[in-house]
Amino acid sequence: MNEIDVLKRRILRERMARKEAEAILEKKALELYKANEDLRQLNESLEQKVAQRTQELQRSEEKYRGIIEGMELGLLEVDLNHKIVRAYDWFADMTGYSPEELIGQNAKEVFTPDGKFDEVFEDEDRKRERGQAGVYEIQLRKKDGSLIWVLISGAPIVDTEGKTTGTLGIHYDITARKTLEQELAKAKVTAEQAQKAEQQFLANMSHEIRTPMNAVIGMTHLLYETSLSETQKEYIDALRFSADSLMGLINNILDLSKIEAGELDFEERSFNLGQMLKGLQRTFQFKVKDKPVSVDMAIDERISNLLIGDPTRLNQILTNLLGNASKFTQNGTIGVKAFLKEEKVDKYWIELHVHDTGIGIPEDKLELIFENFKQADIKVTRKYGGTGLGLTIVKELVEIQGGTIKAESNPNKGSVFKVVLPFGNSGIKAIEKPKVYEKNHIQLKEFLKEQYILVVEDNDMNQKLITKILDIWECTFDLAINGKEAIDFTTSHKYDLILMDIHMPEMDGVEATKAIRNSEDNINQDVPIIAMTAAALLDEKNRALAAGMNDYLTKPFSPDLLLDKIGKTVGFYPKEIVAEKVEETSALVEGPIISFNYLYEFSNGDRLFVKDMVTTFIKESPKAFEELHHAFKRKNWKIVHKRAHSLKPNFMMLGMKAQEETAAQIEKLIKREDYQEDIIFTLINELESAAEQAYPILQQKLTEL
């Protein structure tokens, strides 16, 4: 093959290669064209969608702007320096400016020039820096100088990079609401002042009525102890009944006013429900002695422990209900049944049924009877008497304690009032004193004649009580008046038993016990110690036992109870048969009602001892009240608490239950640092007034003794 043929072939191959390349380029060009066409169509679609979305956003913005404007909400946009970026129409109208006047102005300088809310703004600025919204109230000054209150919901404005550039605030005018709040506050103050005036009036009125009434009641009791004919006794019985009824009415009105004012306090102390019911049974069996009516009491055997609550108020509830039952029952039965509705680790729910076979209540009147001054039938009021306050107070007392009350009745067949109340579970068994004690008392007293006892007690009357009973038992004893003195005694004398009061000046019984127990040099380190205190809470007992005391005795206590407690503590009695006896609690009766039963029981009927105790009370009480008033004027609450604490057992010993409760109320207010001076002042005056009314009655008793 020559060179020409080779060249021809090369040219042919190149032509074929070029045609193939042109075909490929043509195909790629066609693909590129199609891709460009698809891209163009996509761009057109995107432009349409963007335009559509923009229109939607504009419509949405207009819609929500319209809603906000329609809701009378003023929008304001400011930058980080509070410079106004945009003011919406409603905000401008709200403040009296035009939007153009506000653009570029400093919002703080325009609307709060006095700097009154600078701290609020600073706090909100810090929130915006953290990207947080906030709601707050401030006062704005309008263009005309007037002020309006606004509620502001502020939120940060964030750019596309996530950086906060300012704040959008939604403002709502709350001036009308603020004005109403101020008017309500003024009205509340006026109402509270009126209520306080009413309380003061009731207090003054009750004192004014009680002064002659207490004299009437006291003299009636004194008259009854003189030689009287049967006719005279009938007259005095009628007089005493009328006086007691009037005092009951006064006390009901005062209780109701205290409830309405929210000033009713409740105690927390342990008590024996079974013994309370037995006491009520004896009381009401005596009241219905002239009618063929029996008084029945029953208690669920599962209620095995002492309850913790307010025995005085429970007694008041049951006394009111039983009083109605006895009044409206002419024959048959009245009584109380106590059921354990629910038991938890530290709480009992007790259901009490107060039942009778009396005249009953129509079904349509069952709710009416709990209203103030209402009874089921006006004829009932005419025939049986009453004010219609008793059940109102009962309902309030029950509900304040978290309980419920309802009535069920059938006319002419009887009624049942069902009360459900919560009580604390003390964990202490409520067991009656075993009969074996009576046989062992004589032997125990002989045993105690050989014992050396230390009595630690700061109260004069308590000292006389405890030393009197130890004298009767012919015990050898020393008396210390506070914890420090007790420690001095125990370092120099060996004792067989220590009776230690808990609440004392200088050093209390708990601290003294710790010092004795923790000192290896104290020769009485292991001697039995019995705590004595008026506080009956389980916490108080635990505190005493934790300090190293062997047992615990609640004041007031009887000589027999003290003897039993000593017998158990020194090992004379087996521990398993001993249980603490809790004194029965009577209903709260205000006024100087006096009873020497406690003193006679403690002294085995020793008139000279009773006379000495009464003389001490008459002599020492005025000094205590003088110190109490002086401490109150100086607002020395520690001394006020101390004097109230020392007066409480003195009233208790004379059977002045109401005054004991009043002193306890002063104590509680000071203890919880509730220094309501007007209330404390009233309670002190009430206590002193009762003591002053009691002095002439006590003087009369002294002449008899």
Instruction: Read off the CATH number of the domain in which 357 is found.
Output: 3.30.565.10
- Whether 181 is in a domain gets the answer no
Provide the residue range defining the domain that includes 154: 71-173
Q: What is the CATH number of the domain that holds 478?
A: 3.40.50.2300
- Give the mean pLDDT per block of 10 residues along the chain (705 residues): 73 78 78 76 74 69 59 81 87 88 88 86 86 88 90 86 86 86 84 70 60 60 70 75 65 65 70 84 77 88 86 85 87 91 85 90 72 48 49 85 88 88 82 44 80 87 80 88 89 90 83 88 89 61 78 70 80 45 33 67 67 82 86 86 83 80 83 79 82 79 69
Domain co-membership, 49 together with 137: no
Picking from 496, 466, 492, 461, the residue whose alpha carbon sits closest to that of residue 479 is 466
Same-domain pairing of 617 and 702: yes
Question: In sequence order, what DSSP letters do the residues of 535-573 get, joined into one string?
Answer: ---HHHHHHHHHHT-SEEEESS--HHHHHHHHHHHTTSS
pTM exceeds 0.95, yes or no: no
Residue that terminates a domain, selected from 173, 188, 211 = 173
64 and 79 together in one domain: no
Rounded to a whole number of angstroms, the distance between the first and last alpha carbons of the chain is 170
The verdict on residue 208 lying in a domain is no
pLDDT at 232: 81
CATH number of residue 687's parent domain = 1.20.120.160
The structure tokens listed for 180 are 């109403």
Does residue 448 sit in the same domain as residue 523? yes
Whether 248 is covered by a domain: the verdict is: no
pLDDT at 374: 43
* Residue 261 forms part of a structural domain: no
Domain identity same for 700 and 593: yes
Residue 560 lies in a domain: yes
Would you state the pLDDT for residue 336? 93
The pLDDT score that the predictor gives to residue 122 is 87
pLDDT of residue 605: 62
Query: Residue 234, class by beta-carbon neighbours within 10 Å (0-12 exposed, 13-18 middle, 19+ buried)?
Result: exposed
pLDDT of residue 231: 80
Strand pairing class (74-79; 164-173): antiparallel
Half-sphere exposure of 634 (CA within 13 A, CB side): 10
Q: Are residues 495 and 545 in the same domain?
A: yes
Query: What total of structural domains would you count in the chain?
Result: 5
Could you tell me if residue 186 is inside a domain?
no
User: 602-607: long-range contacts at Cβ-Cβ below 8 A with a sequence spacing of 24 or more?
Assistant: 602/465, 602/468, 602/469, 602/558, 602/559, 603/468, 603/469, 603/472, 604/472, 604/559, 606/468, 606/472, 607/705
pLDDT, residue 541, reads 67
The reported pLDDT for the residue numbered 172 is 85
SS (H, E, C) 636-658: CHHHHHHHHHHHHHHHHHCCCHH
Asked if 148 and 165 sit in the same domain, the reply is yes
In a domain, 188, yes or no: no
Tell which of 31, 48, 69 closes a domain: 69
For residues 127 and 22, state if they share a domain: no
* Final residue before a domain boundary, out of 69, 91, 108: 69
Domain assignment present for residue 216? The answer is no
**Residue 148: which CATH number?**
3.30.450.20
- Between CA 26 and CA 12 the distance in angstroms is 21
The two three-digit tokens of residue 541, written as one number: 């007992």
Looking at the fold, whether 279 and 377 belong to one and the same domain comes out as yes
Same domain, 275 and 421: yes
Residue 590 and residue 672 in one domain = yes
* Same domain flag for 554 and 454: yes
Distance of CA 410 to the CA centre of its chain: 37
Residue type for position 501: D
